[in-house]
Each structure stands twice: as C-alpha cells, then as structure tokens.
Amino acid sequence: MIALDTNALVRYLVCDDPEQGAIARNMLESLTRESPGFICREVVLELVWVLQRAYKCSRDEIAMVLEELAATEHLVVEASRDVVRCAVRYREEGAGFADLMILAAAERVGSDALCTFDRKAAELDGVTLLGE
C-alpha cells in the first residue's frame, strides 16, 4: 500500500500540469486491489478545500469526486463511510465539509454533542454552540 498526498490527487483530477498529471495518472493506474493507494482523512479535507478554493469546483463536482474515490477498488479511503455520508450532506445541505467530517467523527465515537463557537457549524443537528 502507498499513501497518496493531496497534490498527487489534484494533479490526477485536474491535470493542470501535463507532466505531473501524467506521472500521477501512471501512478494511480498502477495501483491494484492487492497493492492499493491510501487516502487519509486529512488528504480528503485538504482535497475538498483545494478543489473548492483554488479550482472553483461546485459542491456537486466535489461530492462526486469524493464518492468516486471511496468507491474505487484500488483505493482505501480512511473513514470512507463518513466521507460518502458527508459528501451527500455537503452537496445537499450547504454545510462545510470539514464541519461535517468533524461531526461524523464525534458521532462515530458516541459523543453526546459537538461543542463549538462556530455559528455555521452549530446549525447542524448534534452541534452545540458555546456561549449562548
């Protein structure tokens, strides 16, 4: 198994640098079920941020990328169930993807609430706004 960094995924997905895009494509195409690539949660979060901010991708486009990565047999996406669930909510509800992933992690460990000062995140069910 090899771990993939955000920039390798970005080069593969957007191919804005032809040379690096080809290298990333060759590397990703060499992965197999027996020797997969690993994508950690931090890379997923950074990927969403880069696609949204730098490449102006829509929520629908980003959600589709995340769902496809999680469904790819030769990739292991950390917390893939959370990623897919959060991609759907990100597409449909307008919440921030990082906030959704943080809430999903809190729910996964059985927390009673996620406490925050972030007013936007506090709009999500299961999130408590501190100081109010």
Q: Which residue has the tokens 């972030």?
A: 118
State how many domains the chain has: 1
Contacts with 17 (C-beta within 8 Å, 6 or more apart), sequence order: 11
Structure tokens at 93: 């509800």
Q: Is 129 helix (H, G, I), strand (E, B) or coil?
A: strand
pLDDT computed for residue 94 by the predictor: 79
- State residue 33's pLDDT score: 94
Looking at residue 93, what is its pLDDT? 85
Residue 75: CATH number of its domain: 3.40.50
Q: What is the mean pLDDT of each run of 10 residues along the chain (132 residues)?
A: 96 94 96 97 97 96 97 96 96 91 94 93 92 81
Number of CB atoms found within 10 A of residue 71's CB? 11
d(CA 72, CA 39): 11
